[in-house]
């Protein structure tokens, strides 16, 4: 297969690229920077933004499949930035797939597209999109996911969307470094009662799922036009796992708490203040979305991914933590 990976220089994207290369696929990457490490592996790199339709078209030319992982993630920022990267970027990808006769599109979505701030206890993909979102990121991802699933058309373009939750592992430059930095500086508190359960997925497992879903995208297949939750299949207690992570980095465990109600109120005030001051490039320490993510249950039923394309985590949490510990 000739595969394009958008965001192929990112955390998840790199692992997808490596797994594609390992099985003999030809790989091209579209990203906003140069990636000399990928070039050394034999990857063709196209530098550009997914919001640029011309660049996207050039990157898609000659491809058989697109893995669309590129996105702007975050708890704060301008709607226009999220819209351009996550919505317009996805529109450009779909248009380029049609233009160049690409048959398959695998979209990296997020479980947050169905998150309304309340507990999600073992829910399946039948859950509805909420009417209101607490942040621009899940709203923009939901719009993009709907477009991808709607674009599924037998004989032209087969699509699916994957919703990996809390991707972690070696080479992460966002989630884990930020957790460690905040803990070291004393800015991290347990939000809520500290017993909320969450799903997560080790990065190599998330990458494997993308290849499995892609292989299952075939005419008349079960995967076409559907969205799937992905996780380790065993939720963990959020703050216990965070303290296990801090222990790996030799950082004292968290003990101080703040109630969910107080954190949510602080998040609302910070959002209001940052918006009033026009501060969109820096990020508030707390937002309503972040408070809800840190205090509520959010774990998912992955039976559909197991049944429809054979997904099964091959690296368990304990082994993943051992591998991560070597990099901290």
- Calculate the CA 300 to chain-centre distance: 15
pLDDT band for position 126 (50/70/90)? Answer: confident
Q: What is the pLDDT of residue 181?
A: 94
* 3-class secondary structure, 258: strand
CB 196 within 8 A of CB 262: no
Continuous segment of H or E residues that includes residue 298: strand 298-300
CB 113 within 8 A of CB 75: no
Residue 249 domain-assigned? no
Residue 61 domain-assigned? yes
Q: Which residues fall within 8 angstroms of residue 179, CB to CB, at 6 or more apart?
A: 188, 242, 245, 246
Strands 65-68 and 104-108 turn out to be parallel
Residue 188 domain-assigned? no
- Calculate the CA 183 to chain-centre distance: 23
Residue 325 domain-assigned? no
pLDDT at 216 over 90: yes
Q: Which two tokens stand for residue 274?
A: 């940052």
Count of domains in the chain? 1
Q: What is the pLDDT of residue 148?
A: 98
Residue 270 domain-assigned? no
Residue 64 domain-assigned? yes
Residue 27 domain-assigned? yes
Q: What is the pLDDT of residue 28?
A: 98
CATH number of residue 215's parent domain: 3.40.50.720
Q: What is the pLDDT of residue 65?
A: 98
* 3-class secondary structure, 283: coil
**Catalytic member of 67, 107, 133, 137:** 137
Residue 238 domain-assigned? no
State which residues form the domain around 218. Answer: 2-171+199-232+299-314
pLDDT at 127 over 90: no
**Is residue 264 among the annotated active site residues?**
no
Q: Which value, in Å, is the radius of gyration of the alpha carbons in the chain? A: 19
């Amino acid at each position: 297969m000739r595969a394009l990976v958008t965001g192929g220089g990112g955390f998840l994207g790199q692992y997808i690229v490596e797994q594609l290369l390992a099985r003999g696929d030809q790989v091209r990457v579209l990203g906003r920077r140069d990636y000399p490490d990928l070039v050394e592996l034999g990857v063709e790199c196209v530098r550009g933004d997914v919001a640029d339709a011309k660049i996207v078209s050039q990157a898609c030319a000659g491809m058989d499949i697109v893995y669309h992982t590129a996105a702007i993630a975050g708890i704060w920022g301008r709607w226009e930035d999220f819209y351009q990267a996550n919505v317009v970027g996805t529109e450009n990808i779909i248009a380029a797939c049609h233009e160049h006769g690409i048959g398959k599109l695998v979209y990296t979505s997020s479980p947050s597209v169905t998150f309304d701030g309340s507990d999600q206890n073992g829910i399946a993909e039948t859950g509805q999109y909420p009417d209101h979102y607490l942040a621009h990121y899940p709203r923009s991802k939901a719009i993009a996911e709907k477009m991808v699933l709607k674009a599924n058309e037998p004989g032209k373009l087969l699509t699916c969307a994957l919703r990996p939750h809390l991707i972690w592992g070696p080479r992460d430059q966002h989630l884990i470094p930020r957790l460690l930095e905040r803990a070291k500086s004393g800015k991290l508190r347990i939000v809520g009662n500290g017993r909320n359960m969450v799903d997560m997925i080790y990065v190599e497992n998330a990458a494997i799922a993308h290849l499995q879903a892609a292989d299952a995208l075939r005419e008349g297949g079960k995967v076409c036009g559907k969205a799937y939750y992905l996780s380790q299949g065993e939720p963990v207690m959020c703050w216990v796992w965070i303290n296990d992570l801090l222990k790996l980095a030799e950082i004292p465990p968290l003990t101080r708490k703040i109630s969910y109600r107080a954190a949510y109120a602080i998040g609302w005030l910070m959002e209001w203040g940052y918006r009033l001051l026009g501060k969109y490039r820096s990020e508030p320490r707390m937002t309503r979305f972040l408070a809800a993510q840190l205090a509520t249950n959010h774990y998912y039923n992955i039976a559909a991914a197991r049944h429809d394309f054979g997904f099964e985590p091959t690296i368990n949490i304990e082994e993943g933590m051992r591998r991560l510990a070597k990099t901290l």
